[in-house]
Structure formats: structure tokens, C-alpha cells
Amino acid sequence: MARVPVRAEGLGKTFGRGETAVQALGDVHLVVAAGEVVGLRGPSGSGKSTLLNLIACIQEPTAGRLLLDDEVVWDGRYCIADLRRLRRERIGFIFQFHNLLPFLNAVDNVALAMTLAGTAPAAARLRARALLDELQVGRRALAMPSRLSGGEAQRVAIARALANRPRIILADEPTAALDSERAGVVMDLLRQLAQVQQAAVLVVTHDEKIFDRFDRLVSLRDGRIE
């Protein structure tokens, strides 16, 4: 049976303690299967980013259970010691503002993710080139991020997210800075990659023009799934 990339069971997050405690997320049950592209929507402050942070293991949950690839990651405490290793090997991140390192060119930005995971620099650059070609930004491989257009930069960021063939791709408003046409291209890419790599793609978005591009839309309100 195929492993489930993301499974949240009653996941919750409360900030602060006692009277000042604020529950940002409560009792979230979410499963994202391999090859599935799921949208996460909701008004500002509904807990979308918090949920993304919990799944990415960059914020610690306060309740529930989190399993990645059927492995228990959090169950009252983190069950995996090296969370950064988990992130670099299993999770790919795509940000609203691409977050490419401004001092590395496109190919080095992609290759860095692989060298961090232990790939030899030459092999990493080779695969980075191939990924950029695949995402149709190969001719911009040596360009610095400041020289890339918004769409090109986002495709380089996607290439970086895919560099280590992650099982989970988490995207935070990946199309917010793009026009409809480019947003559609990015979503097509994510869908294609989800299917080819059998990865689970979870996209936080406010962007109504791409709502129809998801397999499933999950709505959050006041920290709970509607």
C-alpha cells in the first residue's frame, strides 16, 4: 500500500499559556495523498500558514499527531531528532516571493538544495541544469535572481523545491505575485510534478483564479477546517 505523504490527526497549535493563550489551530484532520494537489484557503488569520509551518516542522504543534510518509514525526513531542535533514530530504518549499538566494545564480540556487542533501557539487549542477531545462528556464541558468522576471524566478524556485525529489511540496501563495497566465503555468507545473514524482502538493492560496486547479480545496476558518 502506498505511503501517505501527509497525515495530520487532530493537529493543533496554541500560542502562549493561561489567560493569554491563543489557539491558532485546533483539531485539524488532513490527509494529502501522493500525486494529489490540495489547496488550502481561508481568510487572513485563519491558520493556513500555521498549518503549513506545522507540517514543515518549523513550528511545533501543541496537540494531535503528525505523520509524514507514514512515519510519526510529532506525537506530543518530535519523534525525529534531525528536523532539518527531514526538511531537506522530504520537503520542498515554494514561497510567495520565490526566496532565491540573491547572491547565487539560478543554477546554483537549485544545486545548493542538492549539495545540502549530500549530492556532489558537479552532479548537483548537472541535475539543476536539467531541472531548469524541464521548467523552461534553462537559458536563464546563469542569471542572478535580480535579473529574472517574476515567472522565471518562481520556476527556478520550483526547480529548487523539486531538486531532492521530495515527497511533499509545500507552497505558500506561489501565484500571488504572478498574473493569471503565469499563475496557470505554475499550477500546471505543480500538478505535473505531483503526478510524475508522486508527491503530495499542499498550496496555501487566496488566489481565486486558481481554485479550479486543485484536486481538493480545504477551507480553514478560525483555526478549524470547515
Partner 1 sequence: MNLALADIRHKLGRFLLTCLGLGLLMGVALSMVGIYQGVVTEALALSRSLAADLWVVESGTRGPFAESSRLPGDVREMVARLPGVAAAGSITLRTAEAHAPQGIIRVQVMGYEPGRPGGPSAIDEGRGLGGARRELVADSRARLPPGATILLGGDRYRVVGTTRGLVSSGGDPLVFVHLHDSQDLQFKLAPPTARRALAAGGGAGSTDTVNAVIARLHPGADPALVAETVRRWKHLAALTDAEQSDLLTRSVINRARVQLGMFTVVLLFVSAVIIALIIYTMTMDKLREIATLKLIGAPDRMIIGLVLQQALLLGGVGYIAAVGWVFAVRDVFPRTVALGVAEVAVMAGVIGVICLLASLLSIRAALRIEPQQALGG
Residue 15 bridge partners (DSSP)? 22
Q: What's the chain's length in residues?
A: 226
From the list 85, 147, 216, 221, which residue makes contact with partner 1 (rule: CB under 8 A)?
85
In whole angstroms, what is the distance from residue 16 CA to residue 18 CA?
A: 7
Contact flags string 126-145 toward partner 1, x per CB under 8 A:
------------------x-
Cell of 65: 499527531
Do the Cβ atoms of 121 and 115 come closer than 8 Å? Answer: yes
User: Segment contacting partner 1 (CB under 8 A): 6-14, 61-69, 91-99, 192-200?
Assistant: 91-99
In whole angstroms, what is the distance from residue 30 CA to residue 224 CA?
A: 11
Cell of 115: 549539495
Determine the size of the site formed for partner 1 (CB under 8 A).
31
Do the Cβ atoms of 35 and 3 come closer than 8 Å? Answer: no
- Binding of residue 147 to partner 1 (CB under 8 A): no
- Binding of residue 185 to partner 1 (CB under 8 A): no
- Between 160 and 213, name the residue whose CB sits nearer to partner 1: 160
Residue closest to 52 by CA, chosen among 63, 69, 66, 64: 66
181 Cβ contact partners less than 8 Å away, ≥ 6 residues apart: none
From the list 97, 134, 143, 217, which residue makes contact with partner 1 (rule: CB under 8 A)?
97
User: Segment contacting partner 1 (CB under 8 A): 31-39, 73-81, 83-91, 216-224?
Assistant: 83-91
Contact flags string 18-57 toward partner 1, x per CB under 8 A:
-------------------------------x--xx--x-
Instruction: Give contact residues for partner 1 (rule: CB under 8 A).
Output: 49, 52-53, 56, 58-59, 84-85, 87-89, 93, 95-97, 99, 101-104, 108, 111-113, 115-117, 121, 144, 160, 172
